[in-house]
């Protein structure tokens, strides 16, 4: 009899347990509160890929934007920055953005010219005299017009960022006159305007991804390259090149962009947060980039045995005279009115 009662009680308990499971009495409907994850259900993650080092005008502005966007949105936006071509390189980042594989990138203007030839205007040598000219154009009507052109490419243009003026480095020969570049193999970004610039000087331009420049300088398949001091320093090009010419002949800046569908998927208040964070990060970038290039110049001067020549006024005038042909080309073949608008903004 005792055995029977125990077995009956056991069976009843088992049945109760089964009924409880089926009805979900033991299921937790809500996650435990975790202050670190307070907006988990409505959080938007922005993966932001770029090709330069972290300690550069673009790298630091990207981190600044990440910090501001996260703060303004009270954690609903999280920006993950991937520097140094960790995710994508020059030749695949634009497609990755358009396909929605990545949410944000910031390639140089030059790398946009294949998609939109009008952007070549920013590759024109000696277009800007100083950082003040750059600020005026980047934050003015011409800058807005450039960003608006991205819309039909399924891209949301957010801002234009600055790195700095470009200089020329070479391995075996100093460069004072453009003729000194004759016959040299020089790396450029993927821009026909930049290739034309070196062809005018009689050099052999080679378009190459940024992440390959160091190894090609090292194995001597390139004689030289043009870049900002900040890139020359942070990527160690100065260790492989004997000569540097401070020519300030061109400007390197960035198109900061977001995938358009992703942008549209953001609630309006978060779009506002992104825009405000971008405005602040852009002002910060425009202020800091000049100083960063100056600081890196001092570091190269102090620690490397580089032979550095700054163009004299007369030498620069000669360079400008030769490069006028490129301005004429843009006027004749691309868009004379747009160049005029930019020149007006500068003056
Ligand atoms: C380069 O390819 O030299 C630059 O565009 C790299 C960069 O993004 O500054």
Does pLDDT of 156 surpass 80? yes
Residue 68 or residue 5, greater confidence? 68
pLDDT band at 347; cut points 50, 70, 90: confident
**What pLDDT was estimated at residue 42?**
81
Instruction: Tell if the pTM clears 0.85, that is, is over it.
Output: yes
pLDDT digits (tens, 9 = 90+) for 230-248: 999 999 999 999 999 999 9
Q: Integer distance in angstroms from the first to the last C-alpha of the chain?
A: 106
Q: In ligand 1, which atom is closest to the CA atom of 210?
A: 2
CA–centroid distance, residue 263 to ligand 1 (Å): 25
* Residue 237, ligand 1, Cβ within 6 A: no
**H/E element holding 159?**
strand 155-170
| % pLDDT > 90, the chain | 88
Encoded tokens for 223: 């004689």
Q: In ligand 1, which atom is closest to the CA atom of 51?
A: 8
* Residue 244, ligand 1, Cβ within 6 A: no
Instruction: Determine the average pLDDT of the residues in 38-57.
Output: 87
Name residue, tokens 């852009």: 282
CA–centroid distance, residue 51 to ligand 1 (Å): 7
* Residue 49, ligand 1, Cβ within 6 A: no
**What pLDDT was estimated at residue 316?**
98
CA–centroid distance, residue 107 to ligand 1 (Å): 7
Dihedral sign for Cα 254, 260, 262, 263, please: positive
Least confident of 26-35, 69-78, 208-217, 303-312: 26-35
pLDDT band at 22; cut points 50, 70, 90: very low
State residue 158 phi and psi, 5-degree precision: -105, -40
Encoded tokens for 45: 């993650």
* Residue 188, ligand 1, Cβ within 6 A: no
CA–centroid distance, residue 210 to ligand 1 (Å): 6
**H/E element holding 138?**
helix 131-138
**Candidates 51, 207, 226, 257: which one to mutate for ligand 1, based on the most atoms within 8 Å of Cβ?**
51
């Amino acid at each position: 009899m005792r055995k029977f009662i125990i077995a009956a009680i056991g069976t009843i308990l088992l049945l109760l347990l089964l009924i409880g499971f089926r009805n979900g009495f033991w299921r937790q409907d809500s996650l435990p509160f975790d202050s670190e994850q307070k907006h988990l259900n409505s959080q938007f993650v922005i993966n932001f890929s770029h090709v330069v080092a972290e300690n550069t005008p673009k790298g630091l502005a990207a981190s600044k934007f990440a910090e501001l966007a996260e703060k303004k949105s009270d954690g609903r936006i999280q920006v993950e920055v991937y520097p140094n071509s960790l995710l994508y390189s020059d030749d695949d980042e634009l497609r990755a953005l358009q396909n929605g594989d990545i949410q944000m990138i910031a390639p140089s203007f030059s790398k946009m010219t294949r998609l939109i030839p009008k952007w070549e205007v920013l590759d024109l040598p000696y277009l800007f005299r100083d950082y003040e000219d750059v600020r005026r154009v980047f934050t003015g009507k011409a800058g807005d017009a450039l960003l608006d052109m991205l819309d039909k490419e399924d891209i949301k243009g957010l801002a234009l960022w600055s790195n700095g003026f470009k200089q020329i480095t070479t391995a075996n020969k100093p460069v004072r006159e453009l003729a000194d570049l004759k016959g040299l193999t020089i790396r450029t970004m993927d821009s026909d305007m930049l290739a034309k610039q070196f062809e005018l000087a009689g050099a052999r331009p080679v378009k190459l991804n940024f992440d390959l420049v160091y190894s090609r300088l090292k194995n001597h398949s390139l004689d030289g390259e043009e870049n900002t001091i900040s890139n020359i320093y942070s990527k160690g090009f100065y260790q492989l090149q004997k000569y540097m010419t401070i020519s300030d002949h061109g400007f390197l800046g960035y198109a900061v962009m977001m995938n358009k569908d992703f942008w549209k998927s953001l609630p309006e208040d978060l779009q506002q947060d992104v825009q405000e964070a971008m405005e602040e990060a852009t002002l910060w970038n425009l202020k800091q980039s000049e100083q960063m290039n100056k600081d890196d110049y001092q570091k190269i001067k102090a620690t490397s045995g580089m032979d550095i020549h700054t163009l004299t006024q007369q030498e620069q005038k000669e360079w400008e005279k030769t490069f006028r042909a490129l301005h004429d080309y843009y006027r004749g073949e691309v868009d004379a009115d747009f160049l005029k608008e930019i020149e007006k903004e500068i003056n």
